[in-house]
């Protein structure tokens, strides 16, 4: 690892996996990483993970393509140096970069009910730093774009201080790095938003990593029945270790899945959490909760032209519909305590990690994800 005493204020040359074109294999390149500017931090990345969001924007299907770019947003690392104005981080601190931030000054950050920072909310179209509109990455003077303010597929990256969670240095970064995005999103959707009570029934729509994290949250909450809903029946066995007790494949029934769940549960589940982004699944998740007290939580991101349609009586009959962003966790204030849940053995992370590859083989992580047999693949930045 480069010594911060010798690299502070200097350009660092390191390896990064650069996406030059949509859908083409990443190329390990030597890049130049500029020093952090005001309110920025340069981080040595030790472990990173591949999330479906990286794949989605790498494929560039349905959004504005922005290349060349360094992807990656689930990671763990160590602070190498800090820019002016940074007071709560110092070289050597262990951190998790997060795709959304917490400036601690805007109305959202000051609210106990919101984590949607005005300054640092996710912006997938921005490929530069907000401080000066410039990239901190370059190759032979040519700028390389950032991704969601993190760009962790690089041995060093520069991140706004508000997008870094300072964590327990004893926490293993190769495990807790997956708390930067998907696992925290699903876990928080259950613990912070749905809030199932002891002995309650919960339906989870979509059993990918986010849905399984939601199931984990329901399990931690003491739910007695956790019904997994997925179009892939093979996922039931994979979901059992996360607390899923029953499984429904909508394709196996000739009636809407919300009716199937209502019949299974005597009128509907107490809570449902939708983790697919499918508008049909969102409607089913809402309509399958029990009248009078049922709460449905939407996590998945729909297509931009989708519209949610349900009869108003479903609301008037005292069903509640909620949305959530990053599990309602504030990155700097809350993620350190999620790491402590793992350290205290309240939260199991190992079962989310299905593969591990060295940085030189990062394209294998994309293959695993595209084959559909990977929850999280850990990428070791050092051999």
Q: Which residues are catalytically annotated?
A: 51-53, 73-74, 103, 106, 109, 117, 121, 181, 376
Residue-level pLDDT at 75: 98
DSSP H helical ranges for the chain: 4-7, 52-59, 107-110, 173-176, 182-188, 209-221, 235-239, 257-265, 279-287, 313-316, 331-343, 362-371
Per-residue pLDDT tens digits for 110-150: 999 999 999 999 999 999 999 999 999 999 999 999 999 99
**pTM for the structure as a whole:** 0.95
Q: Is 156 exposed, middle or buried, given 0-12, 13-18 or 19+ CB atoms closer than 10 A?
A: buried
Boundaries of every domain in the chain: 12-180+349-380, 186-324
User: Rounded to an integer, what is the distance from CA 116 to the centroid of its chain?
Assistant: 14
DSSP summary character for residue 61? S
For 186-324, which CATH superfamily applies? NAD(P)-binding Rossmann-like Domain (3.40.50.720)
pLDDT in tens, 71-104: 999 999 999 999 999 999 999 999 999 999 999 9
What's the pLDDT at 316? 96
**pLDDT lower than 70: segments of the chain:** 1-5, 62, 383
Task: Say if CB 191 and CB 168 are below 8 A apart.
Answer: no
Q: Looking at residue 3, what is its pLDDT?
A: 60
The set of residues, in sequence order, having a beta carbon less than 8 Å from that of 175 and lying 6+ positions away, is 342, 349, 350, 353
Calculate the alpha carbon distances from 364 to 146, 152, 371 in Å: 22, 17, 10
Would you identify the CATH topology of the domain 12-180+349-380?
A: Quinone Oxidoreductase; Chain A, domain 1 (3.90.180)
φ, ψ of residue 229 to 5 degrees: the values are: -120, 120
């Amino acid at each position: 690892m480069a010594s911060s005493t010798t690299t502070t204020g200097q350009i660092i040359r390191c390896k990064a996996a650069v996406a030059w074109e949509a859908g083409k294999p990443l190329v390990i390149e030597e890049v130049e990483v500029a020093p952090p500017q005001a309110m920025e931090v340069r981080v040595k990345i030790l472990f990173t993970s591949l999330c479906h969001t990286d794949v989605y924007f790498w494929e560039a299907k349905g959004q504005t393509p922005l290349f060349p770019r360094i992807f990656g947003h689930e990671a763990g690392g160590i602070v190498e140096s800090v820019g002016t104005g940074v007071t709560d981080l110092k070289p050597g601190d262990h951190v998790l970069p997060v795709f959304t931030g917490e400036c601690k000054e805007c109305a959202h950050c000051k609210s106990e009910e919101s984590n949607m920072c005005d300054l640092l909310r996710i912006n997938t179209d921005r490929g530069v730093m907000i401080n000066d509109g410039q990239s901190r990455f370059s190759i032979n003077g040519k700028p390389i774009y950032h991704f969601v303010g993190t760009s962790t597929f690089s041995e060093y990256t520069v991140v706004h201080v508000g997008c870094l969670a300072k964590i327990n240095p004893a926490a293993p970064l190769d495990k807790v790095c997956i708390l930067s995005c998907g696992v925290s999103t699903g876990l928080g959707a259950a613990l912070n938003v749905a809030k199932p009570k002891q002995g309650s029934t919960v339906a989870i729509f979509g059993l990918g990593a986010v849905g399984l994290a939601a199931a984990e949250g329901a399990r931690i909450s003491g739910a007695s029945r956790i019904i997994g809903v997925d179009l892939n029946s093979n996922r039931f066995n994979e979901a059992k270790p996360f607390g899923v007790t029953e499984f429904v494949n909508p394709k196996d029934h000739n009636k809407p899945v919300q009716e199937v769940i209502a019949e299974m549960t005597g009128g509907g589940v107490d809570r449902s959490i939708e983790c697919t982004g499918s508008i049909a699944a969102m409607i089913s998740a809402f309509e399958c909760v029990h009248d009078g007290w049922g709460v449905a939580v939407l996590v998945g991101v729909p297509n931009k032209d989708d519209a949610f349609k349900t009869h108003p009586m479903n609301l008037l009959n005292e069903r509640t519909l909620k949305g959530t962003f990053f599990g309602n966790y504030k990155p700097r204030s809350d993620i350190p305590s999620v790491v402590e849940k793992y350290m205290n053995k309240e939260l199991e992370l190992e079962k989310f990690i299905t593969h591990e590859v060295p940085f030189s083989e990062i394209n294998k992580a994309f293959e695993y994800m595209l084959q559909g047999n990977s929850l999280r693949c850990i990428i070791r930045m050092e051999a």
